[in-house]
């Protein structure tokens, strides 16, 4: 074999074995089955793939500390506590009711006077909350009566003046339209200097009893009624963990009911504590809150 032919055959064998000058420089040789044109073309850079992270569920807070969003919501709520609704025991006795305007031609606005009926004489200057009875609260699991939701309509102050029909009261705060027949109770301020805390006297468990305005679902920054109260030895500021109970499923073959485990969906904080039921402010939730959802604190 002549020398030029031998050199040509040797160069072909080196190229096919992937040991050409490019490979010797540390670059990978052509892939199996690739053509020379494909191997010579530089590979296009692969664009980065952005993976969208799933939303993080807001469950029980680490070490029992409330989330910043809940703390912010609580700070905005505290100045408005005095104007909010109340929870009354089922055996509450009223101090009277609104009978009419003091003067027929007067307008129902702050500073105007109302004619009220009282169950017993009260001292001039006494403050009374005007309320309208709302829903009766019952435990969705046991049916136990937990109290009465009272819609706070405003406040009146007794002037001490009377006429042949009743007592005169001056309207000092108006939250909603007041009508004849609305009820009166001694006004009690809600403390607003409480601090959030995560540890009750003993572990407690209850349920959501009612949602705002008789709605079916509630969420962040809304107030709900919970089935915990003074009898459970809880106090203002207690951070509660919320659990949603999914509806049971059904086995596709046997037809048997498949119960599902509850899972954490967020947190809430007590701000008005009643005897059996209390009001709580919802923090951010990963699932809409509904009546019957569980509340816990440990």
CB atoms inside a 10 Å sphere around CB 100: 13
pLDDT above 70: percentage of residues in the chain? 75
According to DSSP, residue 289 is labeled B
pLDDT band at 115; cut points 50, 70, 90: very high
Cα gap 286→227, rounded to integer Å: 21
Which domains does the chain carry?
62-81+192-297 (2.40.10.410), 87-186 (no CATH)
Mean pLDDT of the chain: 78
Q: How many CA atoms lie within 13 A of 256 on its CB side?
A: 4
- Residues 286 and 193 sit within 8 Å (Cβ to Cβ): no
Q: What is the mean pLDDT of residues 62-87?
A: 71
Max mean pLDDT among 31-45, 187-201, 210-224, 257-271 falls in 257-271
Confidence band, pLDDT 50/70/90 cuts, at residue 73: confident
DSSP state of 170: E
Q: How many Cβ atoms sit within 10 Å of the Cβ of residue 286? A: 16
Instruction: State the Cα–Cα distance between residues 148 and 128, nearest whole angstrom.
Output: 18
Residue 29 region, left (φ>0) first, then alpha (ψ -120 to 50), else beta? beta
At 247, is the pLDDT very low, low, confident or very high (cuts 50, 70, 90)?
A: confident
Residue 12 has φ and ψ, to the nearest 5°, of: -65, -40
Q: What pLDDT does 101 receive?
A: 79
* Confidence band, pLDDT 50/70/90 cuts, at residue 24: very low
Lowest average pLDDT, out of 14-18, 214-218, 251-255, goes to: 14-18
For the stretch 117-153, pLDDT in tens is 999 999 999 999 999 999 899 999 899 999 999 999 9
| pLDDT given for residue 104 in this prediction | 62
Task: Tell me the per-residue pLDDT of 169-210, one tens digit each, with 9 for 90 and over.
Answer: 999 998 888 989 999 999 988 888 888 888 898 999 999 999
Report d(CA 269, CA 150) in Å as an integer: 20
**H or E stretch including 74?**
helix 68-77
Looking at residue 231, its pLDDT comes to 95
Cβ atoms of 124 and 159 within 8 Å: the answer is yes
* Contact (CB, 8 A) for 99 and 163: no
Given a cut of 80, is residue 288 above it in pLDDT? yes
Q: Is the pLDDT of residue 54 over 80?
A: no
């Amino acid at each position: 074999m002549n020398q030029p032919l031998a050199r040509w055959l040797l160069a072909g064998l080196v190229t096919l074995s992937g040991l050409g000058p490019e490979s010797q420089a540390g670059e990978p040789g052509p892939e199996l089955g690739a053509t020379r044109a494909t191997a010579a073309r530089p590979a296009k850079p692969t664009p980065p793939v952005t993976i969208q992270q799933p939303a993080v569920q807001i469950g029980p807070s680490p070490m029992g500390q409330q989330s910043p969003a809940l703390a912010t919501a609580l700070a905005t709520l505290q100045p408005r506590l005095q104007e909010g609704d109340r929870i009354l025991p089922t055996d509450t006795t009223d101090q009277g009711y609104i009978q009419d305007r003091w003067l027929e031609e007067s307008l129902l606005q702050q500073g105007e006077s109302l004619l009220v009926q009282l169950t017993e004489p009260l001292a001039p200057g006494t403050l009374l909350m005007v309320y309208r009875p709302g829903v009766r609260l019952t435990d969705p699991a046991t049916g136990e009566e937990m109290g009465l939701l009272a819609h706070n309509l405003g406040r009146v102050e007794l002037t001490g003046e009377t006429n042949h029909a009743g007592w005169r009261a001056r309207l000092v705060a108006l939250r909603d339209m007041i009508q004849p027949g609305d009820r009166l109770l001694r006004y009690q301020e809600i403390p607003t200097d409480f601090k959030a805390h995560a540890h009750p006297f003993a572990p407690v468990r209850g349920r959501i009893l009612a949602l705002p305005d008789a709605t079916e679902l509630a969420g962040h920054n809304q107030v709900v009624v919970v089935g915990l109260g003074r009898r459970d030895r809880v106090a203002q500021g207690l951070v509660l963990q919320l659990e949603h109970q999914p509806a049971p499923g059904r086995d596709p073959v046997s037809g048997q009911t498949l119960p599902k485990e509850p899972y954490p969906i967020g947190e809430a904080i007590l701000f008005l504590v009643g005897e059996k039921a209390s009001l709580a402010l919802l923090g951010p939730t990963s699932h809409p809150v509904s009546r019957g959802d569980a509340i816990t604190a440990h």
